[in-house]
């Protein structure tokens, strides 16, 4: 064995890896504690890179950069890198604890009819497709739609400890008022009853270990929304809007609601953003264009992405097979995957405590430019 081969040391490997930065967290991967199980055997160097989410959009880019820099060291002939993940949890003070759930994310809108539930389902599936453990809570007590969108029915089971057992579909753990009432039965409940069932959905459900619990919020800013924002340990929220002015006005109200209860808003999603004609392949801005991005800049929150108008999205919701599951290579599914990655990155930033959650929107403003 040559002197050059013998000269390979752990310090040299860590030195070059300190030049590899996470683009979202803005620190090198050694300082962030991402390097695990570093081993050197002759000319072979092996290690794990443990990211903060399996939904990291630059995972392969980071792996390649690590590979190239370590392989360039004198005496290294082989590099073996395993990309792993360990989703971090941000500590959130709340009146209800949800054991085993690392991050609770609210998906909200200031008004109904903007596709919030459809976005919630597809974002949850996009996160689950990366290998994350994901749950979905349909918190719209008066108009639950998640069971239909996922094609789930049947009565709920309870444990010996009287906890509700979520339904499962496509790898998601799902809870909804729709499992407790028949399809044509109206929920005629006053505020205290709604408050009670929402608290039960949060604290008396056997969610088990989840990386992300997506909460499909009721539309608007009323009692149910206040119950959730004040009781649930929300790590963050995203707001769904459409390009029309009236929807954007309501999106502003939704943002102010989360600000009042100190829940960081990770960004804004514009649904029904545009339509691409299948025959002429031209883009048509049916409901105007650019409103969502303009409002996100005005409110100093990130613009997480645009969801196109696609009849397959509606069909997927009606048949119980959402588009991310049904057509993962479609433009709409790719948009949901991109948005899910941005959301995961925002939650990681807050959980790593590299920034004050109150300043999250300012950090996103800088990184998204």
Question: pLDDT class for 3, splitting at 50, 70, 90?
Answer: very low
- Please say whether the beta carbons of 225 and 116 come within 8 A: no
Residue with tokens 């929807």: 247
* Single pTM value for the model: 0.85
Give CATH 3.40.50.300 domain extents, the chain.
101-367
Q: How confident is the model at residue 363 (pLDDT cuts 50, 70, 90)?
A: very low
The CA–CA distances, whole Å, from 336 to 116, 306, 331 equal: 12, 9, 9
Does residue 118 contact residue 331 with C-beta atoms inside 8 Å? Answer: no
Which of these, 276, 289, 248, lies nearest to 332 by C-alpha position?
276
- What is the band of 369 on the pLDDT scale with cuts at 50, 70, 90? very low
pLDDT for 31-52, tens place per residue?
999 999 999 999 999 999 999 9
Decide yes or no: CATH 3.40.30.10 for domain 101-367: no
Q: Does domain 3-85 fall into CATH 3.90.950.20?
A: no
Q: Which tens digit of pLDDT belongs to each residue from 181-234?
A: 766 655 556 557 777 888 888 888 999 899 999 999 887 766 677 778 888 889
| Angle at 238 (CA atoms; ends 208, 290), nearest 5 degrees | 150
| Residue range 88-114: mean pLDDT, rounded | 84
Ranges of CATH 3.30.300.130 domains, the chain: 3-85
305 burial level (CB within 10 Å; 0-12, 13-18, 19+)? buried
Average per-residue pLDDT in the chain? 83
Cα angle 192, 251, 349; round to 5: 90
On the 0-12 / 13-18 / 19+ scale of CB atoms within 10 A, 279 is exposed
Phi, psi angles (nearest 5°) of residue 206: -80, 75
| pLDDT at residue 119 tops 80 | yes
Residue 180 has pLDDT above 70, yes or no: yes
pLDDT digits (tens, 9 = 90+) for 263-289: 889 999 988 766 565 666 666 555 566
* pLDDT (0 to 100) of residue 89: 85
């Amino acid at each position: 064995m040559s002197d050059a081969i013998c000269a390979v040391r752990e310090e040299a490997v860590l030195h070059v890896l300190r030049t590899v930065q996470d683009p979202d967290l803005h620190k090198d991967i050694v300082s962030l504690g991402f390097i695990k199980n570093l081993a050197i055997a002759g000319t072979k160097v092996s290690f794990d890179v443990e990211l903060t989410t399996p939904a990291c959009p630059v995972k392969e880019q980071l792996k390649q950069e690590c590979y190239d820099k370590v392989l360039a060291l004198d005496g290294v002939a082989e590099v073996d890198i395993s990309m792993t993940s360990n989703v971090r949890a941000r500590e959130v003070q709340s009146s209800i604890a949800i054991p085993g759930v690392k991050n609770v994310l609210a998906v909200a809108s200031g008004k109904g009819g903007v596709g919030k539930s459809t976005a919630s389902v597809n974002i949850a599936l996009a996160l689950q497709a990366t290998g994350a453990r994901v749950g979905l809570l349909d918190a719209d007590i008066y108009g639950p739609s998640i069971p239909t969108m996922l094609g789930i029915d049947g009565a709920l089971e309870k444990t010996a400890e009287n906890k509700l057992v979520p339904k499962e579909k496509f790898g998601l753990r799902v809870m909804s008022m729709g499992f407790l009432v028949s399809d044509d039965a109206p929920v005629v409940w006053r505020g205290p009853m709604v408050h009670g069932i929402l608290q039960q959905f949060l604290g008396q459900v056997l969610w088990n270990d989840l990386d992300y619990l997506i909460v499909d919020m009721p539309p608007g800013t009323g009692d149910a929304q206040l119950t959730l924002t004040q009781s649930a340990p929300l790590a963050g929220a995203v707001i769904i809007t459409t390009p029309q002015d009236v929807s954007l006005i309501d999106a502003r109200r939704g943002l102010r609601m989360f600000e009042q209860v100190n829940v960081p808003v990770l960004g804004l999603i514009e649904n029904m953003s545009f339509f691409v004609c299948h025959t002429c392949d031209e883009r048509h801005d049916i409901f105007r264009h650019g409103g969502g991005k303009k409002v996100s800049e005005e409110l100093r929150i990130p613009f997480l992405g645009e969801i196109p108008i696609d009849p397959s999205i509606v069909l997927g919701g009606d048949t119980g097979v959402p588009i991310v599951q049904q057509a993962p290579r479609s433009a709409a599914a790719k948009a949901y995957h991109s948005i899910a990655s941005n959301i995961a990155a925002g939650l990681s930033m807050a959980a790593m405590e590299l920034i004050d959650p109150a300043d999250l929107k300012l950090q996103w403003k800088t990184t998204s430019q």
